[in-house]
């Protein structure tokens, strides 16, 4: 049966560990210039309803590294833009390509696509989750810390799609997640409840100082996500005391790492000094999108990497 990756919880703890291990192997093979064409002759369709830099390029280069091919599909240039239904597009595309990555405004669109396509579907970001980002982030933290169990992770700012995937991932990694958001932009209770029901340790507070105290990892993301533009001024107002600045970073563990999925808005959710500072690992995160997604695709399309490389 085909397997989709719509949520970070579509994989279990073992699968997460094995994807991270494969991603590290793929990173090494690429850096050594060793061919690793595990998806030769395979194709990935990539549908982007919204803008992207990292997701688009990392999936496209990833397929090319693996000996396959990726197609960038803009809904406005497809019959989708003229009203063709998602379920019809999904069934037709699945007859041509080996997997589809879709970035959509609504998570329901991603789910509908996956329901009708009989090839693996990957969520390249929806309003609900951004599992590919968190997969790469977990790889990035594993490279730094090894075992992630018991690490303290603080999310500061909007309780958005990336935050949701992080909250849910606590059930897989054993990290303790503290989220600090203004009341209006806190993550939904159902996400927190889902993570807790699966053993995740999650707290939600309004005070960023509380969330970051002694944290090993600090994370923030833009305050106005794609699709939220009409609320821009309310969001900037509500979130203005949630900037990841040097004062906040100083309250975390002295070796705390600072993460951001990018794109960043310096001077809003993070200061220039912090993102450019020695604790920031944002470029490693961006790079690891490539390696982690390659490992994911090899698993979804070809059942995993051959042993021994
Ligand atoms: N972090 C991330 O998904 O970036 P893009 O929007 O550029 O793809
Ligand atoms: N939360 C952001 C992430 C961008 C990668 C958004 O959805 O726009």
Q: Which 3-state string (H, E, C) describes 131-196?
A: HHHHHHHHHHHHHHHCCCCCCEEEEECCCCHHHHHHHHHHHHHCCEEEEECCHHHCCCHHHHHHHH
Reply yes or no on whether the pLDDT at 243 is more than 70.
Answer: yes
Domain map (residue ranges) of the chain: 8-130+288-302, 133-285
- Looking at domain 133-285, its CATH class is alpha beta
Residue in 22, 128, 133, 285 annotated catalytic: 133
d(CA 68, CA 248): 44
Instruction: List pocket residues of ligand 1, CB cut-off 6 Å.
Output: 52-55, 125, 133, 261-262
Yes or no: say if 135 and 80 are a contact pair by the CB < 8 Å rule: no
Residue in 107, 130, 260, 299 annotated catalytic: 130
Task: Give the ligand with the smallest distance to the CA of 131.
Answer: 1
Q: Is 183 annotated in the active site?
A: no
Q: Is 36 annotated in the active site?
A: no
Q: Which residues pair with 305 in a beta bridge?
A: none
The pLDDT value recorded for residue 307 is 84
Q: What is the mean pLDDT of residues 227-243?
A: 98
Q: Is 261 annotated in the active site?
A: yes
Residue nearest to atom 7 of ligand 2 (CA): 225
Residues 6+ apart with CB under 8 A from 28: none
d(CA 231, CA 43): 38
Q: Which atom of ligand 1 is nearest to the CA of 56?
A: 8
What CATH code would you report for 8-130+288-302? Answer: 3.40.50.1370
Q: Which residues pair with 71 in a beta bridge?
A: 45
Q: Per-residue pLDDT tens for 46-63?
A: 999 999 999 999 999 999
Q: Is 103 annotated in the active site?
A: yes
Local confidence band at 142 (pLDDT 50, 70, 90 cut-offs):
very high
Q: What is the mean pLDDT of residues 32-43?
A: 98
The pLDDT value recorded for residue 302 is 97
Yes or no: say if 6 and 111 are a contact pair by the CB < 8 Å rule: yes
Residues 6+ apart with CB under 8 A from 254: none
Instruction: List pocket residues of ligand 2, CB cut-off 6 Å.
Output: 125, 160-162, 221-222, 225-226, 261
The pLDDT value recorded for residue 309 is 54
Q: Per-residue pLDDT tens for 82-134?
A: 999 999 999 999 999 999 999 999 999 999 999 999 999 999 999 999 999 99
Q: Is 82 annotated as a binding residue?
A: no
Mean pLDDT of the chain: 98
Q: Is 91 annotated in the active site?
A: no
**Global model pTM greater than 0.85:** yes
Q: 8-130+288-302 and 133-285 share one CATH topology?
A: yes
- How far is ligand 2, taken at its centre, from the CA of residue 267, in Å? 17
């Amino acid at each position: 049966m085909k397997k989709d990756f719509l949520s970070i919880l579509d994989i279990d703890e073992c699968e997460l560990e094995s994807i991270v291990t494969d991603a590290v192997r793929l990173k090494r093979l690429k850096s050594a210039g060793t061919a690793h064409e595990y998806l030769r002759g395979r194709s990935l369709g990539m549908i982007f309803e919204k803008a992207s830099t990292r997701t688009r390029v990392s999936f496209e280069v990833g397929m090319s590294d693996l000996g396959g091919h990726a197609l960038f599909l803009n809904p406005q240039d497809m019959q989708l833009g003229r009203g063709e239904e998602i379920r019809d597009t999904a069934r037709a595309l699945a007859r041509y390509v080996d997997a589809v990555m879709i970035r959509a405004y609504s998570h329901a669109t991603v789910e509908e696509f996956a329901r009708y396509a009989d090839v693996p579907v990957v969520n390249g970001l929806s309003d609900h989750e951004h599992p590919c980002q968190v997969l790469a982030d977990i790889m990035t933290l594993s490279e730094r810390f090894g075992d992630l169990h018991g690490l303290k992770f603080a999310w500061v700012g909007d309780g958005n799609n990336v935050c949701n995937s992080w909250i849910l991932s606590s059930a897989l990694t054993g990290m303790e997640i503290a989220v600090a958001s203004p009341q209006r932009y806190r993550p939904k209770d159902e996400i927190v409840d889902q993570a807790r029901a699966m053993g995740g340790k999650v707290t939600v507070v309004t005070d960023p100082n509380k969330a970051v105290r002694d944290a090993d990892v600090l994370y923030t993301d833009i305050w106005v996500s794609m699709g939220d533009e009409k609320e821009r001024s309310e969001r900037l107002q509500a979130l203005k005391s949630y900037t990841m600045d040097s004062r906040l970073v100083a309250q975390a563990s002295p070796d705390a790492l600072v993460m951001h999925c990018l794109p960043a808005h310096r001077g809003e959710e993070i200061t220039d000094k912090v993102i450019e500072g020695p604790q920031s690992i944002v470029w490693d995160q961006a790079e690891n999108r490539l390696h982690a997604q390659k490992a994911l695709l090899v698993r979804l399309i070809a059942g995993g990497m051959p042993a021994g490389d």
